[in-house]
Structure 1
Amino acid sequence: MAYVADNEWNHDLDAVLADVLDDLSALRAEGHQVLVHCHGGASRTGLVLRGWLVREKRMSVDEATAHVAERWPHLGLWNASFTAALERLAARVR
């Protein structure tokens, strides 16, 4: 469980996202299925799903966004700080 607010004021969002993605990767490596969901089920969930695709599948942010949007109609993209965090993540994994 991680605390991420759906606004522009998250402290150290990159580190929190990395921690969540590390946990997801570790659980999947152990053979667990993982459910990702936030209170609203839109932007924060979308952040984590897109982040996992960027880091683990080496998708661009645009590719990850399209991939999630095609499969999950509830994806919320109103939080620009989340997309900015994904762009920084993508730059680190290239």
Structure 2
Amino acid sequence: MATASWNGTVIAESDDIVTVEGNAYFPREAVREDVLRPSGTHTFCPWKGTASYYSLEVDGQTNPDAVWFYPEPSDAAREITGRVAFWRGVEVR
């Protein structure tokens, strides 16, 4: 079972992980809804497409844009459809 934690709080866990470029992509439904906050940030990857982000809010602290996902990944990255990945201090084990 893989877990994602930030500030000592588990925010996601699943045994269904897809690893792309060293990043663990969790199924979106494996992430706690109560810690996600919408973000207006978007970035572009030439082979995966346009990424969108969520910020995390745990115990009154915010980690901006710590969660990313591809709402419509390219065909080359279709395996990450419906999945999210973490960074900015989120520990994945």
**Aligning the two structures, in what range does the TM-score lie when normalised by the shorter sequence?**
under 0.3
Q: TM-score, normalised by structure 2?
A: 0.23
* Between structures 1 and 2, the one with greater strand share: 2
Instruction: Report which of the two has the higher share of helix.
Output: 1
